[in-house]
Each structure stands twice: as C-alpha cells, then as structure tokens.
C-alpha cells in the first residue's frame, strides 16, 4: 500500500518531457518533488504563473509571488506571469497538457466530485471546474477509500459534480486505474496489494484483464 508520497511518486512517472502541468492542492503538489532528472516540465498555477519553482528561502518571501494555494513561491528561469483570463485560456485552450488533482469521489464513467459536501460549509470550486472540463489528460490522486472505509471509486457520484466524463486515470494508495467505457480498468497494483483487496475497495465496475502487474516506483 502506498502513502501520499508514494502516490505522488507513481504519478510523477506519468509526467512526460515537454509537458505543462497544473497541480492541485494536496497530494498533487507533492508530484513536483518526484519528477525525474532529465524530464523538462513547467508547472502552471492558475492564479497566473508558469515555471513555478520551490518555496523561497526564509527571508526571501515576496507577497506578490504566490501559487493558487496562496503559498509563497519562487519562479525558475523561463517563468512568466499573466492575468487570470489568460491563465484559463491556457487551461480551456488545452495548452496545459496534464492536470493532476484530488477528488472526494470518482465514478466509473469518469465523473468527478471534489468541491462540495451538502450541509457542510461550501468554500467554492476555485478553478477545478474549468480544469476538469478542459484538460485533455486528467489524473486523479486520492486514497482509494474515505476515512469511514467506504470506496471513493463509485458507480455514480453521490456528491455534487465538478465535471462529467472527464477523468482519465486514477492513482490511489492501492492501485493505478484508467477509465474505459463503463469501468475502472485495473492497470497496476500497489506493492503488496492483491487484486482481491482492490475489488473489495472498489464500488464501481472494476475491469481486471489477465495478470495485473505490481507498480514499479
């Protein structure tokens, strides 16, 4: 079974040379730490920066340079700043190649819910609806089950949707899965996790074909 860093490490292998990538808050942010050397990527933050670098050294923080999580950041050589309309032109116009984000629920048709729990304080969708509706390639990073042990990979989302038929791939603490016509196709198992355990933890339709390899990290 993987921890959060393990999920990030596995997703980092999906990041290809020359990609512009938008990382959501939480596990997706960790992906930046695991992109292999020799792979050139630029990270986009939807508040208006391409070429995001690591956090600044203590004392170097600049209130005018933050990411979408409102954290102080730095920029790398080749970086650029732009306004919000242009930022979402990059996203909607599919110039950003890959979006990695978290989710509360994913359905086996690619629907995703990650912005609202009825009855709880609603904070808003931020850029998530624009990102999921537009990206050519969306990878969801999340735990396979919620804190109550219930599956987050469902036949149908129960929470209000963020987007429809949009998720392409899911990396959880148990498995790598892709959305195919009407199902989660199991691609890889996390180290030490059996197909049976994944079946138990998946409420939606799970498609298992042949021997499912263990992931290599």
Partner 1 sequence: MINKRVASVTEALQGVRDEMTFMLGGFGLCGIPENSIAELVRLGIRDITCISNNAGVDDFGLGLLLRKRQIRKMISSYVGENDEFERQMLSGELEVELTPQGTLAEKCRAAQAGIPAFFTPAGYGTEVAEGKETREFEGKMYVMEEAFRADFSIVKAWKGDEAGNLIFKGTARNFNPCMCGAAKITVAEVEELVPAGELDPNQIHIPGIFVQRIFRGDHYEKRIEQRTVRKR
Query: Minimum CB separation from partner 1 for residue 52, in Å?
Result: 10
Q: Exactly one of 37, 64, 181, 209 binds partner 1 (CB under 8 A); which one?
A: 64
Question: Using the rule CB under 8 A, is 47 a contact of partner 1?
Answer: yes
Distance of alpha carbon 210 from the chain centroid? 27
Q: Exactly one of 5, 72, 168, 208 binds partner 1 (CB under 8 A); which one?
A: 72
Closest CA to 138 of 186, 100, 104: 100
Span interacting with partner 1, options 118-126, 145-153, 186-194, 206-214, rule CB under 8 A: 118-126
Q: Which of 42, 46, 188, 203 does the annotation list as catalytic?
A: 46
Residue 163: which residues within 8 A CB-CB, separation 6 or more?
Answer: 111, 112, 128, 129, 132, 133
Q: Regarding beta strands 153-154 and 105-107, do their DSSP bridges make them parallel or antiparallel, or are they unpaired?
A: parallel
Question: Using the rule CB under 8 A, is 56 a contact of partner 1?
Answer: yes
Which residue has 């992109």 as its token pair?
Answer: 35
Q: How far apart are CA 193 and CA 1, in angstroms?
A: 6
Is 46 designated active site?
Answer: yes
Interface positions with partner 1 (CB under 8 A): 45-49, 54-73, 81-85, 87-88, 91-92, 111, 121-130, 133-134, 160-165
- Show which residues are catalytic: 46
């Amino acid at each position: 079974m993987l921890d959060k860093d393990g999920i990030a490490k596995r997703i980092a292998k999906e990041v290809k040379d020359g990609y512009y990538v938008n990382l959501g808050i939480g596990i997706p942010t960790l992906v930046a730490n695991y992109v292999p050397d020799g792979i050139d990527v630029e990270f986009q933050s939807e508040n208006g920066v391409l070429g995001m670098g690591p956090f600044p050294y203590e004392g170097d923080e600049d209130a005018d340079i933050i990411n979408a999580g409102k954290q102080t950041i730095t920029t790398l050589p080749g970086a650029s700043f732009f306004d919000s309309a242009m930022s979402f032109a990059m996203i909607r116009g599919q110039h950003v190649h890959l979006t990695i984000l978290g989710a509360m629920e994913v359905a086996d048709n690619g629907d995703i819910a990650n912005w609202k729990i009825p009855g709880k304080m609603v904070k808003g969708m931020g850029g998530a609806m624009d990102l999921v509706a537009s990206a050519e390639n969306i990878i969801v990073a999340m735990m396979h089950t919620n804190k109550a042990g219930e599956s987050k990979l469902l036949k149908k989302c129960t929470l209000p949707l963020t987007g429809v038929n949009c998720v392409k791939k899911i990396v959880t603490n148990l498995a790598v899965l892709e959305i195919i016509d009407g199902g989660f196709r199991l691609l890889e198992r996390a180290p030490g996790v059996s197909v049976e355990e994944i079946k138990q933890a998946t409420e939606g339709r799970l498609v298992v074909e042949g021997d499912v390899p263990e992931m290599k990290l």
